[in-house]
Amino acid sequence: MRRKEFDEARKRLMARRQELVTVIQGGDAGIAEIRAEREIEFGDEAQSEEEQERIARIGEAESAELARVDTALARLDAGSYGTCAACGDPIEPRRLEASPYAVQCAACAGATPKRP
Ligand SMILES: [Zn+2]
- Cα(66) to ligand 1 centroid in Å equals 23
Question: What pLDDT is attached to residue 77?
Answer: 93
In DSSP notation, 15-76 reads HHHHHHHHHHHTHHHHHHHHHHHHHHHHTTPPPPHHHHHHHHTTTHHHHHHHHHHHHHHHHH
The reported pTM is 0.68
pLDDT score for 29: 66
**91: Cβ–Cβ under 8 A, 6 or more apart, which residues?**
82, 83, 84, 102, 103, 104, 105, 106
d(CA 91, CA 97): 10
83 C-alpha to center of ligand 1: Å? 8
Q: Using an 8 Å Cβ cutoff, are 103 and 114 in contact? A: no
The pLDDT assigned to 90 comes to 94
Q: How far is the CA of 65 from the centre of ligand 1 (A)?
A: 21
What is the residue extent of each domain of the chain? 3-80, 82-116
Tell me what pLDDT residue 53 has: 77
Q: Ligand 1: distance of its center to the CA of 25 in Å? A: 35
Dist. CA 60 → ligand 1 center (Å): 29
Q: What is the pLDDT along the chain (116 residues), one digit of tens a residue?
A: 678 888 989 999 999 999 998 888 876 666 667 667 766 565 555 567 777 777 677 778 888 999 999 999 999 999 999 999 999 999 998 998 888 889 999 999 985 555 55
The set of residues, in sequence order, having a beta carbon less than 8 Å from that of 79 and lying 6+ positions away, is none
Q: How far is the CA of 104 from the centre of ligand 1 (A)?
A: 5
